[in-house]
Amino acid sequence: MKLPKVVEDLVKAQNNFDNVAFAACFSETGEMLDEGKLYKGRVAIQHLIAETNEKYRSVMKPLEYTGNGTSSVLSAEVSGTFPGSPLVLKFHFDIIDGKIQYLKVTG
């Protein structure tokens, strides 16, 4: 499956537990909605991923990707030390100029 470079980089960063590289996939003003909470900007996203990695050690296995213009959806199996692991989650992206502007994670 062919993923855009920024999505490929995001998956790699997550699987390496690299919160700095994960946040670098976002624009400076990028936003991420996860578990009903909105995180604004790279610094907030980096802190979220650092905490999540410490707690759950989640890794992603891409299953399906569909894209249309700037909007796309990645379905991925996410496994880690959280209840119900593994889960298939959907990552809804808005990507502009090679950076993630907005990411919403849904079950």
Q: Could you report the per-residue pLDDT of 43-72, keeping only the tens digit for each?
A: 999 999 999 999 999 999 999 999 988 999
**Strand, helix or coil at 67?**
strand
CA distances 76 to 47, 60, 87, 89, Å, are 22, 6, 8, 6
pLDDT of residue 68: 87
Give the C-alpha separation, 21 to 74, whole Å: 19
What pLDDT, on a 0 to 100 scale, did the predictor assign at position 1?
Answer: 87
Domains of the chain: 5-106 (3.10.450.50)
What mean pLDDT comes out for the span 67-88? 95
Instruction: Kindly report whether the global pTM for this prediction surpasses the value 0.85.
Output: yes
Whether 81 shows a pLDDT value over 90: the answer reads yes
